[in-house]
Structure 1
Amino acid sequence: MLAHEYESKTKEERRQMEELAAKAERGERLDVVPGSVRHMDPNRDVDKDQFFRDLHTEFDQMRLRRAEATQVARKTWKIRVPKDLDDKANQLAKQEGTNKSAIIRKAVAWYLQNTDKRPTAA
């Protein structure tokens, strides 16, 4: 098994995975494994165009996270924000699969780009 593949931890997990795979191969409705998190109905009709748009969006987000991980941070900011703004930043970070620092960096970059205010060298 390759290092990046999922390795089930229990016989029950292996049994559930094999059962789901067999059902999918037979074209049967899939039962959700108890305790799993679903974002979409696994038995829905798939719109191929939407599927590829979603896949493209997911790849873009992965590229952004990778680019974010390879940049070197040179400064640490300490900022104070109202609770509602903190809650929204946390929620957005969770949706994008990143952290608040990345959200703040994107927001500042977007603001600078859209207001045409660039930092000047001292």
Structure 2
Amino acid sequence: MAKVSIDINGRKYALGCDDGEEDRLMRLGQKLDERVKMLANQFGQIGDLRLLVMAGITLSDELDEVTGNISGEAEKMTAQMRKDSEAALAAAKSSEYEATDSLIKAAERIELLAARLADKKD
């Protein structure tokens, strides 16, 4: 297990993480530090715990909003794909009917030609 030291609002925190996750944890720590500093500038130094809770809530709110947007977009894309597939199926059925009709007409012409040829032989 790896250890990482991150700085949040001027205080050092030692955290453990899986090997290879150190850079990611550092980036996440930097984002949290930026959010805490932004809140501290806005509300003042109201205590580390309160700033961390506020940062956690605002980040959770953003995550919730993004998740909702992704879900909404996924639903729209699914509906569009369903609509497109139904249209493609309808077009394929139409093409199948046209092809069947053409084959029937061709078979009728072949039968007429065969009948004419049979009449000429007699």
TM-score band by shorter chain is under 0.3
Higher relative contact order (CA 8 A, sep 6+): 2
Bigger Cα Rg = 2
TM normalised by structure 1 equals: 0.24
TM-score of the two chains, using structure 2 as the length reference: 0.24
Return the structure number with greater strand share: 2
